[in-house]
Amino acid sequence: MRNSTTTKKLTIILEKSDGELYGRIDDPEFLYTTCGNDKNEVEKNLRNLIADFVKHEGKTSKRWNNVNAKELTFDFSYDLAAFFEIYDTVKITPIAKKAGVNESLLRQYVTGAKKASAVQAKKIESAVHQLGKELSMASIC
């Protein structure tokens, strides 16, 4: 009888610090963090860490047993610095205006000089989503 594998969808949390991009998965059993030059490299590195974890420590875990790292799918969550680096075509000024956040304050969030509260982060996220909806409805002739 062949063991079945489990496909999981995980969220990679991407953060930028000291000029590097870091990625982690928020799971009580998997506490690894990696870095990379871009989102794809971070994902690849985490996938490799997960494969090693499942092969060794994770094989006794009910949550991770039979997880195939190659078949994992990921969502991404970003801190503001990582978001504006990865999506560098998105500009701070229009997002600040849409969010009703002071542009200078948003720049401080992006540089890490200040940390956005959960309420401020949600306002900024909503502004990004609103811009995405507007762009998806644009027709170019």
Does residue 84 sit within a domain? Answer: no
The CA-CA-CA angle for residues 80, 96, 86, to 5°, reads 35
Return the SS3 of 73: strand
95 and 124 fall within a common domain? yes
Q: Name the pLDDT band for 90 (thresholds 50, 70, 90).
A: very high
| Number of domains the chain is built from | 2
Sign of CA dihedral 2, 8, 52, 30: negative
48-75 residue pLDDT tens = 999 999 999 888 888 888 889 999 999 9
Task: Write out the residue range of the structural domain in which residue 114 sits.
Answer: 89-137
134 vs 129: CA distance, rounded Å: 9
Q: pTM, whole model, 2 decimals?
A: 0.84
CATH number assigned to the domain comprising residue 67 = 3.30.160.620
